[in-house]
């Protein structure tokens, strides 16, 4: 387990803290840049019994072997149920959360929770109260920190304020603004570096990704999200959606509802929001961010759109995102949204 090439500087700078390591480190930054895997590697380095001079774990000592097998007695990973597989896999190909359908045939099952619950924090506090099995640190990795519900966050506060000796918290967040200020104030904040486009493209190309530049732009510069896009089984439907949006006032809202109804609402909303951002960017700066290859269509839409109607529609989509996980009829949601999209081009 290693960190990504663009994280070398973060790793080297963090080693300067080893003499006085903070009891709680908050690693935060954009989604899809590898924060979770970096935190895992950091945890292994802290637990390693014979680390290298640069803080890298040796990979050979008993602690490293236990860590790689996922059963180190002084290490705990706290994740929402929806991400529980990451703790077993030991690797995160993306920081972005994804829902997966799971259940028996013909039977409804409860969707895995996306929150970190108070029961998980209480179990964690029991772990913190124990002594170290190996006489070294005890490390807790909490990901994503913004998944803590209010009760869980409040239960964690006192331990963060007065941590037991030898316990280190590694908290990872892509949305630090969603954390309680009292949680943030008890942590040493560490903003993670975003890779420069050239390095990110080179890494993606080394993974065998075609059209790395376009995928990287669509992912907002996040290479792991771009890698996930390259394997996206919904790519054809994404291209269909963009073609409909490019049609502006001629967008077929009912075809969109028919073709997209089996997709998750948050996924389609993410495509729509990126397109709208680029329409606005094209209008104001002449330079789209997410879909530079569609600049001609974006320019046509930007020129044809009513500015006030565009602004109002963007607010509508943002409000829809607030209820995107509710059990709504996806087809009706999409039809309404795309009908309203055509309305921004009305004279």
Q: Has residue 104 got a pLDDT over 70?
A: no
- Looking at residue 327, its pLDDT comes to 73
- For the ranges 19-23, 146-150, 174-178, 263-267, the lowest mean pLDDT is seen at 19-23
The mean pLDDT of 6-29, rounded to a whole number, is 92
Radius of gyration of the chain (CA): 23
Summarize pLDDT for 123-132 with one digit per residue, the tens.
Answer: 998 898 888 8
Listed residue (28, 10, 22) closest to 179, CA to CA: 28
- Looking at residue 294, its pLDDT comes to 95
- Looking at residue 83, its pLDDT comes to 87
pLDDT band of residue 323 (cuts 50, 70, 90) is confident
Mean pLDDT over each residue of the chain, to the nearest integer:
89
Distances (CA, A) of 16 to 118, 213, 223: 34, 34, 27
- For the ranges 90-94, 173-177, 193-197, the lowest mean pLDDT is seen at 90-94
Q: For residue 316, report the phi and psi dihedrals to the nearest 5 degrees.
A: -60, -45
- Looking at residue 109, its pLDDT comes to 59
Listed residue (95, 168, 158) closest to 121, CA to CA: 158
Q: Has residue 108 got a pLDDT over 70?
A: no
- Looking at residue 18, its pLDDT comes to 83
- C-alpha–C-alpha distance, residues 67 and 194, integer Å: 27
Q: What percent of the chain has pLDDT over 70?
A: 92
Rounded to 5°, the CA angle 283-286-287 comes to 115
Element (H, E) at 172: strand 167-173
| List of residues 6+ apart from 275 with CB closer than 8 A | 242, 245, 290, 291, 298
């Amino acid at each position: 387990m290693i960190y990504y090439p663009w994280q070398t500087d973060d790793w080297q700078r963090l080693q300067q803290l080893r003499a006085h390591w903070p009891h709680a480190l908050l690693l935060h930054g954009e989604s899809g840049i590898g924060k979770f895997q970096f935190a895992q590697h950091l945890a292994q380095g802290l637990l390693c019994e014979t680390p290298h001079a640069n803080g890298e774990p040796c990979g050979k000592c008993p602690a490293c072997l236990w860590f790689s097998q996922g059963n180190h007695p002084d290490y705990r990973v706290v994740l929402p149920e929806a991400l529980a597989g990451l703790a077993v896999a030991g690797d995160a190909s993306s920081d972005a959360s994804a829902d997966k359908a799971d259940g028996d045939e013909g039977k409804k099952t409860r969707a895995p929770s996306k929150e970190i619950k108070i029961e998980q924090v209480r179990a964690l506090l029991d772990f913190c109260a124990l002594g170290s099995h190996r006489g070294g640190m005890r490390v807790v990795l909490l990901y994503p920190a913004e998944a803590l519900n209010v009760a869980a966050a409040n239960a964690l506060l006192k331990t963060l304020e007065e941590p037991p000796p030898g316990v280190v918290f590694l908290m990872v967040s892509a949305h630090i603004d969603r954390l309680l200020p009292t949680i943030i104030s008890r942590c040493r904040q560490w903003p993670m570096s975003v890779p420069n486009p050239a390095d990110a493209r080179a890494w993606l190309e080394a993974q065998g990704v075609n059209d790395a530049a376009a995928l990287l732009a669509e992912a907002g510069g996040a290479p792991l999200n771009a890698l996930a896009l390259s394997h996206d089984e919904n790519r054809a439907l994404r291209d269909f959606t963009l073609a409909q949006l490019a049609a502006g006032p001629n967008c077929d809202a009912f075809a969109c509802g028919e073709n997209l109804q089996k997709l998750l609402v948050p996924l389609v909303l993410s495509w729509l929001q990126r397109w709208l951002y680029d329409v606005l960017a094209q209008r104001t700066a002449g330079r789209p961010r997410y879909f530079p290859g569609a600049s001609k269509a974006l320019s046509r839409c930007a020129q044809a759109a009513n500015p006030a109607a565009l602004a109002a529609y963007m607010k509508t989509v943002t409000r829809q995102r607030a209820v995107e996980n509710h059990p709504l009829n996806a087809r009706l949601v999409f039809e309404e949204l795309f009908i309203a999209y055509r309305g921004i081009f009305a004279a």
